[in-house]
Structure 1
Amino acid sequence: MAIDTQPGHRLDKRPGGNRPPQMASRFLKENGALGALIAMVVLLAFMSGDFLTTQNLLNVGVQAAVTAILAFGVTFAIVSGGIDLSVGSVAAFSGIMLGWLGTQGVPIWLAFVLAIATGTACGLVNGLLISYGKLPPFIATLAMLSAARGLALVLSDGTPITLPESVSWIGETIGDWLPVPVIVMIVMCVITALVLIKTYSGRAMYAIGGNEEAAHLSGIRVRRQKLVIYALVGAFAAVAGIVLASRLASAQPQAADGYELDAIAAVVIGGASLAGGVGKASGTLVGALILAVLRNGLNLLDVSAFWQQVVIGAVIALAVLLDTLRRRA
């Protein structure tokens, strides 16, 4: 939410002030992740004839869906200057809750509501520990990472729970070309954008991430807003857990293990700053798609799974390095 006070950026009436090269340069600077995604797609299309097939592109969308939904929630935390390491475990716990309720004869609509409420409650606990317990977000959410995973194991007795057909349809495809997980991903992206742009809490996230003390002095109830932020993160994690369980047709206590790292990586690759105050829904979506395209492309090129981890780690390190250089500039 920083205000650009450079005269040349406000209302440049000089000849050539809005020349196409300058506009293109500014677009690439503000949308570097999108440019990287386009370049990656073009490169993989030349390297593999199977990449641009309809079925493969749908697979990429489905693969990106869970990570993107988790990342949308994490965007709220990172924009506000925090972080959430527990989203993968909360997703698994919420999925287990859905599966367990479904096998107990609970109406399916109520099972969905209670599963999302489970994730929201986990987020509220994180918010309480951070806002009122004064724990660093890293420590509070690390504790929840362990606790939520443990609760998932306890509730499921360590075994997968088969979902009824009334639930598993979320992981399927409408017709032959429209996967439901992709629809859910797009809906959650729109919700994220609306929260960040159109709501008081969204504006408060940017203010808190930019300068928490200044936000407090300006009248923002920082502690209350942090409760809202982490509750939203938990709710989004629950939705991701439901989608993942539906794709697998079973709720698994060890599901989404390590997904929190992919979610954080997607947010950073998408242009958000780990220092807070910067980030947007569209950037996070592009970041998640970059990870999915990268994994899919490496699989098509028969690159070893071990080397895939090396490549993805290098991409994440490069994204953080570029973020650091951008903030210095």
Structure 2
Amino acid sequence: MALDRGESLTKPSSPTAGQTRPAWWTRTGLNEQTLGLSLVLLLLVAVFSALSPNFLSVANWTNILRQVSNLMLLACGQTLVILTGGIDLSIGAMMGLVSVFTAIALIQLDPVVAVVVGLAVGILVGLVNGLLIGKARITPFVATLGTMAITGGLAMVLTNGAPIHGIPNTWFFDLGRGFLGPVPIPVVFAVIGIAAVHVLLNYTTFGRYLYAIGGNEEATILAGVDVNRYKIGTYMLAGIFSAVAAILLTSRVITGQPRLGTGMELDSIAAVVIGGTALAGGTGSIGGTVIGVLIIGVLRNGLTLVGVSTFMQEVVIGVMLIVAIYFSSLRVARK
């Protein structure tokens, strides 16, 4: 009965958009905002192409795509979380813990088992986040801030703050350094992640409920939906995406790094918000997130090529995040 009533919960959109645009357009996540972001991305590409002769080279773009692939995976999970009105501050520290456990397992066990161990750690941390938020009713910011401290601290305790070396040379290294044809393998994983989230959000009941929970959680509960179950599942998915990113990055650096993902949780939030997903939840798309990640990747790469320091790059991205949140608030106020 609850599911039948819940089927009426659909992805929110403006009445005008729903009446004037075909269904395939709505499912792509394309709208005026994402098209505007695409123009911003193209403008950045044009500016950096003029400033640096190496910017448009195949080697540089291969490097950009490889660099943003891990952030893209994190942002996929963060998109799902933020759509519910939550936030996950633990995914960066979680990457460090996954890296440590994966490296330990690689030294002592088969690489396949090591990958499974890494994924299990991500799922477990995601489950803890979901239980704290869904069952214990702790606010997402506080709950994930706590698990961020716990996972980060545990990774440092297990390693005494030092990287884990001595990982045997196996096919595992190809995950982070290899190519599938001309495409880096991490990019392939990122594309798979994007496609999976797109299908989840646009073609499944789970995705519709995520939009409904973020749009109006109380109404969703009254419709008979087990909101807590969906929140737990969402944070577990975020844990899986974080674990995959950590495994790929561990393969690339060839060591277990307890501080592997430090700061990447903030980049993932910035990418999602810049991409048009409202921090309040209920509005956004994976297409916008992809553009947000690419904007950050192009900015970092282009600014590096023209000689801007990494510290100033953080300032630029911070300003963009504030501007994105401001315009997101204006959109919410208009609705």
TM-score (norm 2): 0.89
1:160 to 163, 175, 195: 163
Q: 1:136 and 2:136 equivalent?
A: no
Deviation per CA, 1:32-67, whole angstroms, max 9, x where unpaired? 222211111112111211100000001111111111
Task: Give the match for residue 268 of structure 2.
Answer: 263
1:277 to 279, 282, 292: 282
Contact kept in structure 2, 1:28 and 1:35, CA below 8 Å = no
Shift of 1:4: 3.2
Shift of 1:157: 3.3
Same amino acid, percent of matched pairs: 39
- What is the one-letter code of the residue matched to 1:71? A
Structure 1 stretches of 4+ moved >3 Å: 26-30
Q: How does 1:27-106 map to 2 (within 5 A)?
A: 27-104=31-108, 106=109
Task: Give the match for residue 15 of structure 1.
Answer: none
Shift of 1:102: 0.7
Q: How does 1:1-329 map to 2 (within 5 A)?
A: 1-6=11-16, 10-11=19-20, 27-104=31-108, 106-162=109-165, 163-166=167-170, 167-174=172-179, 177-329=182-334
Shift of 1:158: 2.3
Shift of 1:155: 2.5
CA, structure 1 residues 301+176, in 2 after alignment: closer, same or farther (shift >3 Å)?
Answer: farther
Shift of 1:5: 2.8
CA, structure 1 residues 45+168, in 2 after alignment: closer, same or farther (shift >3 Å)?
Answer: same
Task: Give the match for residue 17 of structure 1.
Answer: none
Aligned partners of 2:132, 2:31: CA distance in 1, in Å?
40
Task: Give the match for residue 3 of structure 2.
Answer: none
Aligned partners of 1:175, 1:3: CA distance in 2, in Å?
38
Contact kept in structure 1, 2:89 and 2:266, CA below 8 Å = yes
CA, structure 1 residues 9+133, in 2 after alignment: closer, same or farther (shift >3 Å)?
Answer: closer
TM-score (norm 1): 0.91
Secondary structure at 1:85 match in 2: coil
Contact kept in structure 1, 2:73 and 2:190, CA below 8 Å = yes
Shift of 1:198: 2.1
Aligned partners of 2:327, 2:230: CA distance in 1, in Å?
29
Q: How many residues end up aligned between the 2 structures?
A: 314
Deviation per CA, 1:9-43, whole angstroms, max 9, x where unpaired? 6259xxxxxxxxxxxxx953343222211111112
Aligned partners of 2:198, 2:76: CA distance in 1, in Å?
9
- What is the one-letter code of the residue matched to 1:131? G
Secondary structure at 2:15 match in 1: coil
CA, structure 1 residues 11+311, in 2 after alignment: closer, same or farther (shift >3 Å)?
Answer: closer
- What is the one-letter code of the residue matched to 2:131? L
Query: Unmatched 5+ residue regions in structure 2?
Result: 1-10, 22-29
- What is the one-letter code of the residue matched to 1:325? L
Cα RMSD after superposing both structures: 1.7
Aligned partners of 2:206, 2:221: CA distance in 1, in Å?
13
